[in-house]
Amino acid sequence: MPELPEVETVRRGLHELIIGRTVVASKSDNPKSFPNASGQVESFLLGATITGIRRRAKVLMIDLSTNYTLVIHLKMTGQLVYRGKRAFGAGHPTDSLVGELPDKSTRVTLTFTDKSKLFFNDQRKFGWMKLIPTDEVWALPFMQKVGPEPLEDDFTPLQFAERFTRRARTSIKAALLDQTVIAGVGNIYADESLWGAKLHPQRQVNTIMPAEFGALYTELRLVMNRAIDKGGSTDRNYVNVEGKRGSYMDFARVFRREGMECTRCGTTIIKFKATGRGTHICPHCQQP
């Protein structure tokens, strides 16, 4: 579910709300959601103070004073929602997608010194969190393989195009979704940026011209920066740390807009299956 802009929105929210808090209790319902290998929770999480929140690709890292890090992947339906008794004492905000917590999709609950809580909800149970020594996080296989952050200041159009040479014979959409090519792109921003660059998702990578890669680079950064600005996209499940939806879908140009008119040319947006994923294009702007 969450892609780079959604995970970044969660990171910012956690930074506001839980830095400096000390964990006093941890409850997990589902061992796959939060395995407690050899009692690490008792040794390195309980009593630990949160010192920092980082993000790499779609992975969140909550750094602890014990020199351990909670590494978290939300996958398709994961949510991290913070509740302090003050703000939510009398019912919950009407714009929240999440009701009383815990609920039936709550997999992990962390409680802080002041009784406020961080809930890890995950309907489909694909997501996970793990306790890992902070200086070993970089050595995780995913961290070793994942591509560059597309929004970094020093990431150039030339570097962007170069990353795709390893996937020469696959489709541009499959390559965009490959986390080892570029970090953090998922189905929504793949479709949105391909529309912006007027590229058909099934174009073979090695037929794409330098100028087209340049357009895709610009559109991907534009779309992702705008999405961060809007607090991410809520298609079904995604919420921020306050349980509220993101508003990027109000600005989407093809994603979930099948049957509606292209804002550029008026042609009807269509949806089909590509790379096993729902794919949205304007058939006039994006020719094969």
Partner DNA sequence: CACTTGACCTGTCCGC
Partner DNA sequence: TGCGGACAGGTCAAGT
Q: Answer yes or no: 27 catalytic.
A: no
Binding to DNA, residues 161-190 (CB under 7 A)? 166-171, 174, 177, 179, 186-188
**Catalytic hit among 3, 192, 219, 242:** 3
Tokens of 17: 């709300």
- Is residue 139 a contact residue for DNA (CB under 7 A)? no
* Catalytically annotated residue among 2, 5, 150, 201: 2
The closest of 172, 146, 155, 183 to 5, measured between CA atoms, is: 183
Examine residue 126 and tell whether it contacts DNA (CB under 7 A).
yes
Is residue 277 part of the annotated active site? The answer reads yes
Among 33, 109, 116, 275, binds DNA (CB under 7 A): 275
Q: Of the residues 35, 221, 277, 283, which is catalytic? A: 277
Interface pick for DNA out of 9, 109, 237, 240 (rule CB under 7 A) = 237
> Is the distance from CB of 75 to CB of 1 less than 8 angstroms?
yes
Closer by beta carbon to DNA, 48 or else 129: 129
Residue 198 C-beta: closest distance to DNA, Å = 21
Among 51, 84, 235, 267, binds DNA (CB under 7 A): 235
Sequence-distant (6+) residues with CB within 8 A of 205 are 164, 167, 168, 169, 170, 171, 172, 175
Cβ-proximal residues to 255 (8 Å cutoff; 6+ apart), any chain: 187, 188, 191, 192, 233, 235, 249, 280
User: Please, what is the end-to-end C-alpha distance for the chain in angstroms?
Assistant: 27
Residue 156 near residue 60 (C-beta atoms within 8 A): no
Distances 146 to 97, 196, 252, 270 between C-alpha atoms, Å: 32, 25, 27, 31
Instruction: Specify the residue, 11 or 58, whose C-beta has the smaller distance to DNA.
Output: 58
Q: Spot the catalytic one: 21, 58, 117, 167.
A: 58
Q: Contact letters (x/-) for DNA, 249-268, by CB under 7 A? A: --------------------
Q: Does 32 bind DNA (CB under 7 A)?
A: yes
Active site residue 2: yes
CB of 1 to DNA, least distance (A): 4
Give the list of residues 6+ apart from residue 71 with CB closer than 8 angstroms, or none. 59, 60, 61, 129, 130, 131, 132, 137, 140
Which of 2, 13, 150, 201 touches DNA by CB under 7 A?
Answer: 2
Q: Element (H or E) spanning 163, and its range?
A: helix 157-163
Q: Among this protein's residues, is 192 annotated catalytic?
A: no
Nearer to DNA, 66 or 234 (CB): 234
104 binds DNA (CB under 7 A): yes
Decide the pairing of beta strands 68-73 and 78-83.
unpaired
In the structure encoding, which two tokens stand for residue 102, read together?
A: 């815990």
According to the binding rule CB under 7 A, does residue 278 interact with DNA?
Answer: yes
Nearer to DNA, 46 or 270 (CB): 270
- The length of the chain is 288
Distances from the Cα of 145 to the Cα of 139, 181, 205, angstroms: 10, 9, 20
How far, in Å, CA of 25 to CA of 97, rounded?
26
* CB closer to DNA out of 179 and 267: 179
The site for DNA (CB under 7 A) is made up of: 1-3, 6, 32, 57-58, 73, 75-76, 104-105, 123-126, 141-142, 145, 166-171, 174, 177, 179, 186-188, 205, 232-238, 273, 275-278
Positions annotated as catalytic residues are: 2-3, 58, 277
